[in-house]
Structure 1
Amino acid sequence: MKAGQILQVIADCPQSFRSVPEEAVKHGYQLVTEPKKVGQDIYFYIRVIK
């Protein structure tokens, strides 16, 4: 992916609510919004910085 693009990640594991944002920041990406839970799915929007 190119810098500035946004990746949508959909997970259904409750632990991902914490681990996905931590890993994104750890690897130099930016969480665009707070994770949103819809039913059992958790949606993440992550911006590529590099």
Structure 2
Amino acid sequence: MYALDALKTMKIREVLQVIADCPQSFRSVPEEAVKHGYKLLAEPKKVGQDIYFYIKVVQ
């Protein structure tokens, strides 16, 4: 997942916006983010076919 690669290069308190169009990402993106120690800032939001995630670097 490219989002995890991007998060690894970010600093504490920075937020990554992820936009996905795969229905499976609604579940997999939050699970992977939390599993790797990041914080999901809000519930994923679906707009049309796109799903928006906001992930914060906390450590």
TM-score, structure 1 as length reference = 0.98
Structure 1 residue 26 displacement after superposition: 0.2
Amino acid at match of 2:16: L
Structure 2 distance, partners of 1:32, 1:5, is 11
Structure 1 residue 40 displacement after superposition: 0.1
List 4+ stretches of structure 1 deviating above 3 A: none
The sequence identity of aligned pairs, in percent, is 80
Alignment of 1:16-31 (within 5 A): 16-31=25-40
Alignment of 1:1-50 (within 5 A): 1-50=10-59
Structure 2 distance, partners of 1:48, 1:7, is 8
TM-score, structure 2 as length reference = 0.83
Structure with the larger strand share: 1
Unaligned runs of 5+ in 2: 1-9
Unaligned runs of 5+ in 1: none
